[in-house]
Chains A and B, each alone.
Chain A
């Protein structure tokens, strides 16, 4: 099936550092979602974006809906060990049929 291109694939960072990841699509979306998945569990919604250019925060997390509507970004500031996990982006052009990114595996070194 179709997937979005998400990068980086994985990253190791030191506790306290900021993290950035992005997701790109070949088609235009009208909604972007960002999820975090812990091992053996379902994805948990972090941030939802509905308009091009929108910048939304959820605690230390900030996500942006790219103005081209073909990309989105997620930033985590001052990372902590519990930020470890897999982060997925998901986008839809309005059908509610979401396409998922390939995931970014984050590991935080204390």
Chain B
């Protein structure tokens, strides 16, 4: 099946700094990638939809200036948490929709743990 890779797997940063998480589709081109946030023992909540070459679409309640998304190529989307605060600590997961050949499904990365201290 399709493979999506996320990096880093975990990161600790100081409050007030910014941190970038990468999401790559390894063996297919992804026209659309999605970023989710998951709190412990909860489901995945969609933050934004990232389309290659255009601005991301953010879900209601998600601050676009705080969570910057860049989908510069068909295989890479990045999420930058700016001026991070402890309440931003969470498990961030990306997923990618294949351009063709993989059906109407999305594939997830391994997730990235962010801890803001």
Seen from chain A, the residues whose Cβ lies within 8 Å of a Cβ on chain B are 1, 3, 30-31, 33, 35, 40-45, 48, 50, 88, 92, 94, 96-103
Seen from chain B, the residues whose Cβ lies within 8 Å of a Cβ on chain A are 1, 4, 6, 32, 34, 42-46, 49, 59-61, 91, 93, 97, 103-111, 113
What is the CB-to-nearest-CB distance from B107 to chain A, in angstroms, rounded to a whole number? 6
Dominant secondary structure of chain A at its interface with chain B: loop
Report the nearest B residue to A98, measured CB to CB: B106
Alpha-carbon gap, A41 to B103, bound state (A): 23
Q: Which 3 interchain pairs have the tightest Cβ spacing?
A: A42-B108, A42-B111, A42-B110
Q: Is the CB of B103 within 8 A of A50?
A: yes
Alpha-carbon gap, A99 to B43, bound state (A): 10
Report the nearest B residue to A99, measured CB to CB: B46
Report the nearest B residue to A50, measured CB to CB: B104
Q: Is the CB of A45 within 8 A of B107?
A: yes
Q: Is the CB of A100 within 8 A of B43?
A: yes
Alpha-carbon gap, A98 to B32, bound state (A): 12
Alpha-carbon gap, A94 to B105, bound state (A): 10
A residues within 8 A CB of B110? 41-42
Alpha-carbon gap, A31 to B6, bound state (A): 25
Report the nearest A residue to B94, measured CB to CB: A42
Q: When the two chains form the complex, which single residue of A31, A33, A40 contacts B111, counting CB atoms closer than 8 Å?
A: A40
Q: Is the CB of B1 within 8 A of A1?
A: no
| Chain A CB within 10 A, most for which of B1, B32, B43, B107 | B43
Report the nearest A residue to B45, measured CB to CB: A1
Q: Is the CB of B49 within 8 A of A97?
A: yes
Report the nearest A residue to B108, measured CB to CB: A42
Q: Is the CB of B104 within 8 A of A96?
A: yes
Given known contacts A96-B104, A98-B46, what 10 new A-B pairs fall within 8 Å (CB)? A40-B91, A45-B1, A50-B103, A88-B43, A88-B44, A92-B104, A100-B43, A100-B44, A101-B43, A103-B42
